[in-house]
Amino acid sequence: MDNVRLLTSLVLLSTIILSPGRNGSAAAADQCLACHQSLGERPSSLFKHDVHFEKGISCADCHGGNPKAAEMEKAMDTTAGFLKVPKGDAISRTCARCHADSARMKDFGSSLPTNQWALLQRSVHGGLATSGAEHIAQCTSCHGAHGIFPKTNPRSSVYPLNVVKTCTGCHANAALMRTYNPSLAVDQLEKYRTSVHGMRNAKGDIKTAECASCHGSHGILPPTDVNSRVYRANIPNTCAGCHSNAAYMKGYNIPTDQAERFERSVHGVALLQKGDPGAPSCNSCHGNHGAVPPGVESISNVCGTCHALNAELFSSSPHKKAFDEQHLPECETCHENHEIKPATAAMLGGAEDAVCSQCHSPSDASGAYHSAVVMRSMVDSLKSGEDSARALVNEAEQRGMEVGDAKFKLRSVRQAWLESRTVVHSFDVNRFQKVADQGLAAALEVRREAGDAIGEYYYRRIGLGIATLILTVLAVALYLYIRRLERKPHPTSGPGRPPG
Ligand code: HEC
Ligand code: HEC
Ligand code: HEC
Ligand code: HEC
Ligand code: HEC
Ligand code: HEC
Ligand code: HEC
Ligand code: HEC
Ligand code: HEC
Ligand code: HEC
Ligand code: HEC
């Protein structure tokens, strides 16, 4: 230690002796820089290229002290305002003295935003560090202290090609990250490198997505925060910032309609309009950091994370092998990828608009076309069987008959129909027929029960009618009889009465 002091003192001495700044015009020069440069240390050599240096800002603007004093003791006198090396939150506060003060920034001729400190404090990085005494990230965590460049300068630590290194300096450091949040993944860098974004970034493409293009920079929030750029429902917008911008994406030769079409899809409506927590967002299919389109042979796995049964059936169906061999994108071939519409029976069968007829025709050597037609007719009879059974149940109910049991059975007809829509993915007529037959049998039973109830109703109506008729006849007869009795000549009546 003493040796170092001695050495610096010697260097210092020579500097002071050799320094041209001791007299005349150079007195105005930055003595801090002049002396420190001669010490040959990093801060001053970096600072020579720093954006702040270019703006005429001195070491003293951040560290305090007197930049005009050539002697070390005077220049770095704490009683004269020298702040030493800022630590913890004092670092960001140092930067905020200018960067959060728009008037001061204007004085330097700058019109940069002045919200970085405010945003940073509210961000996930504004949480308390493990020391408990300061925020997790200071301005210097991402920008450094002395070699600061405008973000458009390739030497800047936040230039698109350097951001990844800057963020993953912490985020790929498992030991560091564990001290904060042991459950937080540290594989972002690893995955990002395998993505189209990461591979292009590594090759020097500054337009592709890096950490800050998806997460933002100063106001980064956890994905669970509804204001986060990577909150599920906000992700389509975040990706669309580039992917729906045709001018920006010009030259990449990929479509720019993914977000637009996704918003119209059954998934987009569920996510963005119904707020369905189970609905997918862009990252459900593309991954968070490994944003690659799923390969044609793995699409069913992606969809299968939610539609497990469909994927399972598809994988053991004759289509799996046939599609993979022809490089057809599995589920996407029939359902699309971004603009997935509600599935209907119209997709099935031999009609022109059915998806099956895109590949199968009556002249097919295999039984595929025939199977499609048969399956469609089964769905149709299942639907019409359900409809007519439901109509009968309703009629019986309206007539006040007890139909609880039939109504319950009606549910199993619907269940069979729903199941058939999934089982269709086996593309196996026999298997499909088993499900359809169960539904048809149940529909038949419901119709019988409801029919019986309606029959019973009429039976009771007729019974009631006959009973009413008999009673009416009896009543009329009784009436006539009474009248008759009344009309009989009274034994005490006068002789003038004509004989009856
Ligand atoms: C005449 C030479 C000289 C001048 C002028 C000078 N310094 Fe220093 N400074 C040094 C030396 C030598 C050291 C290292 C000695 C030490 O560690 O005490 C040092 C250390 C520092 C440190 C590190 C302090 C620490 O606690 O580690 C800072 C910050 C600093 N100087 C900033 C400044 C600023 C700001 C100015 C102008 C206001 C300035 N210096 C002017 C020679 C100088
Ligand atoms: C934009 C503000 C700013 C300017 C201008 C600035 N510094 Fe610093 N400096 C800092 C901050 C913040 C730290 C501590 C942050 C860190 O740990 O990296 C620091 C740390 C230091 C240190 C000690 C740690 C190290 O990296 O060795 C020295 C010495 C130092 N500065 C010298 C200087 C000198 C000399 C100048 C002018 C040539 C200068 N600084 C200009 C902000 C600044
Ligand atoms: C987590 C990393 C991170 C931290 C911490 C951080 N920045 Fe940044 N900063 C960035 C990135 C990335 C960019 C460039 C991308 C952009 O413009 O959003 C940037 C851009 C900037 C810019 C350029 C203008 C602008 O707003 O786009 C300024 C000025 C700036 N930061 C100042 C600061 C200040 C002051 C602090 C501390 C209060 C700070 N930054 C903290 C990552 C960070
Ligand atoms: C004395 C005032 C002042 C202090 C203190 C200061 N800055 Fe600056 N900073 C500026 C000015 C002025 C610019 C140039 C703005 C421009 O070009 O529009 C600038 C530019 C920057 C830029 C480049 C922005 C861009 O992309 O164009 C970054 C990043 C930055 N500062 C970060 C910091 C950090 C980090 C600190 C603290 C360690 C800090 N500044 C301290 C005044 C200051
Ligand atoms: C100084 C180290 C450091 C740097 C640099 C840093 N981070 Fe972080 N970041 C953290 C820590 C620590 C956490 C965890 C906070 C917690 O959960 O308590 C975190 C949290 C996050 C989270 C939220 C994770 C979650 O699920 O809660 C995101 C997103 C994030 N950082 C992105 C970035 C990006 C993007 C950059 C670069 C622009 C970056 N970070 C730079 C340390 C850092
Ligand atoms: C293409 C956009 C995109 C890019 C590029 C990107 N992220 Fe993410 N990031 C996301 C999405 C989306 C999520 C997760 C949202 C969720 O969990 O629902 C996420 C989550 C995170 C998380 C939380 C933990 C986790 O892994 O789920 C961290 C930390 C993080 N990102 C850091 C980074 C870092 C560091 C980089 C740069 C190497 C980066 N991200 C690049 C989109 C991106
Ligand atoms: C900063 C702009 C930007 C953002 C934000 C962005 N991307 Fe990209 N993305 C690109 C560029 C540029 C390409 C390269 C296109 C190419 O090479 O075909 C690309 C490529 C892709 C690819 C590969 C396309 C292919 O077939 O080559 C996928 C998938 C992708 N992005 C998905 C996403 C998703 C999902 C998000 C949001 C979580 C997202 N991107 C956010 C710019 C961006
Ligand atoms: C339900 C799953 C799913 C969702 C949700 C999804 N994608 Fe895709 N995406 C795919 C599939 C599958 C492909 C095509 C893979 C193939 O055919 O090789 C694809 C392809 C892409 C491509 C490559 C170019 C193209 O159009 O073929 C980009 C870029 C892309 N998606 C971006 C997005 C964005 C942005 C979102 C959110 C708005 C999104 N995706 C939502 C499944 C999905
Ligand atoms: C994150 C989970 C998830 C992923 C991944 C997913 N889906 Fe979905 N999907 C859903 C949800 C939830 C619904 C129901 C939306 C609604 O109707 O409200 C749905 C609905 C559907 C429908 C309409 C169903 C109907 O009853 O009409 C089809 C078709 C569909 N998805 C196909 C796919 C395909 C193909 C893929 C892969 C490219 C896929 N899904 C990926 C969750 C997912
Ligand atoms: C050969 C064409 C074809 C392929 C390939 C295909 N489907 Fe289907 N999908 C259909 C048909 C036909 C229906 C039923 C329509 C109806 O009867 O309502 C359907 C219905 C659906 C439904 C709604 C019924 C339900 O089960 O909830 C979902 C979800 C679905 N498919 C997902 C997928 C997934 C995931 C894949 C890939 C593993 C896939 N489909 C592959 C043709 C296909
Ligand atoms: C993209 C083209 C394509 C579409 C769309 C398609 N198939 Fe196929 N299908 C094939 C191919 C290829 C085979 C295997 C070769 C063959 O047997 O004809 C096959 C085989 C079958 C088989 C097995 C035939 C057997 O006897 O082995 C059935 C059943 C079948 N498809 C039904 C359907 C139904 C139902 C639909 C509509 C929901 C449909 N396919 C849509 C291409 C398609």
Q: What is the pLDDT of residues 16-75, one digit of tens each?
A: 434 433 333 333 578 999 999 999 999 999 999 999 999 999 999 999 999 999 999 999
pLDDT of residue 11 exceeding 50, the answer is no
The reported pLDDT for the residue numbered 487 is 85
pLDDT of residue 364 exceeding 90, the answer is no
Give the pLDDT mean for 318-339. 95
Give the pLDDT mean for 170-195. 94
Which residue's CA is the nearest one to ligand 1's atom 18? 5
Please list, in sequence order, all residues whose beta carbon lies within 8 angstroms of the beta carbon of residue 197, skipping any fewer than 6 positions away: 208, 209, 210, 291
Q: Highest mean pLDDT range out of 283-292, 337-346, 485-494?
A: 337-346
Rounded Cα distance, 424 and 403, in Å: 32
- Range with the poorest average pLDDT among 1-5, 325-329, 372-376, 479-483: 1-5
Give the pLDDT mean for 181-203. 95
Mean pLDDT computed over every residue of the chain: 90
Give the pLDDT mean for 95-122. 97
What's the token pair of residue 102?
């728009």
CB distance 12 to ligand 11 below 6 Å: no
Rounded Cα distance, 107 and 61, in Å: 14
- Range with the poorest average pLDDT among 18-27, 96-105, 186-195: 18-27
Ligand nearest the Cα atom of residue 373 = 11
Please list, in sequence order, all residues whose beta carbon lies within 8 angstroms of the beta carbon of residue 271, skipping any fewer than 6 positions away: 232, 233, 236, 279, 280, 281
Largest CA distance in the chain: 172
What's the token pair of residue 75?
């220049």
Rounded Cα distance, 117 and 100, in Å: 7
Give the pLDDT mean for 348-365. 94
Which residue's CA is the nearest one to ligand 11's atom 14? 322
pLDDT of residue 151 exceeding 60, the answer is yes
Rounded Cα distance, 308 and 476, in Å: 75
Percent of the chain with pLDDT over 70: 92
120 CA distance to ligand 2 middle (Å): 21
Q: What is the pLDDT of residues 218-237, one digit of tens each?
A: 999 999 999 999 999 999 99
CB distance 85 to ligand 2 below 6 Å: yes
The reported pLDDT for the residue numbered 6 is 46
CB 437 within 8 A of CB 412: no
176 CA distance to ligand 7 middle (Å): 30
Rounded Cα distance, 17 and 421, in Å: 91
The reported pLDDT for the residue numbered 490 is 65
Q: If pLDDT is split at 50, 70 and 90, which confidence band does 112 have?
A: very high
Which residue among 299, 356, 357, 373 has the greatest number of ligand 11 atoms within 8 angstroms of its CB, and so is best to mutate?
Answer: 356
Which residue's CA is the nearest one to ligand 5's atom 21? 124
267 CA distance to ligand 10 middle (Å): 14
Which residue's CA is the nearest one to ligand 11's atom 23? 368
pLDDT of residue 2 exceeding 60, the answer is no
Ligand nearest the Cα atom of residue 105 = 4
Rounded Cα distance, 277 and 293, in Å: 23
CB 228 within 8 A of CB 119: no
Of ligand 2's listed atoms, the one at least distance from the Cα of 36 is 35
Neighbours of 206 (CB within 10 A): 12
Of ligand 4's listed atoms, the one at least distance from the Cα of 57 is 1
Rounded Cα distance, 195 and 239, in Å: 14
CB distance 196 to ligand 7 below 6 Å: yes
Nearest CA among 223, 108, 114, 211 for reference residue 159: 211
The reported pLDDT for the residue numbered 78 is 92
What's the token pair of residue 399?
């007539």
Which residue's CA is the nearest one to ligand 10's atom 29? 307
The reported pLDDT for the residue numbered 409 is 92
For the chain, what's the residue count? 500
The reported pLDDT for the residue numbered 170 is 97
Rounded Cα distance, 250 and 260, in Å: 17
Which residue among 264, 267, 297 has the greatest number of ligand 9 atoms within 8 angstroms of its CB, and so is best to mutate?
Answer: 267
Q: What is the pLDDT of residues 431-449, one digit of tens each?
A: 999 999 999 999 999 999 9
Phi-psi label, residue 207: left if phi above 0, alpha if psi -120 to 50, beta otherwise: alpha
Q: Where does ligand 5 bind, in terms of residues with CB under 6 Å?
A: 124-125, 127, 136-137, 141-142, 163, 166-167, 169-171, 177, 180-181, 184, 211-212, 215, 217, 220, 222-223
173 vs 464, which has greater pLDDT? 173
Rounded Cα distance, 372 and 378, in Å: 10
283 CA distance to ligand 6 middle (Å): 10
Percent of the chain with pLDDT over 90: 81
The reported pLDDT for the residue numbered 5 is 54
Q: If pLDDT is split at 50, 70 and 90, which confidence band does 498 have?
A: low
Of ligand 6's listed atoms, the one at least distance from the Cα of 172 is 35
Give the pLDDT mean for 73-88. 92
What's the token pair of residue 387?
């409809």
The reported pLDDT for the residue numbered 3 is 52
CB distance 115 to ligand 11 below 6 Å: no
Rounded Cα distance, 361 and 430, in Å: 20
Nearest CA among 496, 407, 494 for reference residue 450: 407
Please list, in sequence order, all residues whose beta carbon lies within 8 angstroms of the beta carbon of residue 310, skipping any fewer than 6 positions away: 303, 304, 331, 422, 425
Rounded Cα distance, 461 and 94, in Å: 94
Which residue among 199, 239, 281 has the greatest number of ligand 7 atoms within 8 angstroms of its CB, and so is best to mutate?
Answer: 239
Ligand nearest the Cα atom of residue 422 = 10
The reported pLDDT for the residue numbered 128 is 87
Give the pLDDT mean for 384-413. 92
Rounded Cα distance, 116 and 250, in Å: 32
Residue 254 burial class via C-beta count within 10 angstroms: exposed 0-12, middle 13-18, buried 19 and up: exposed
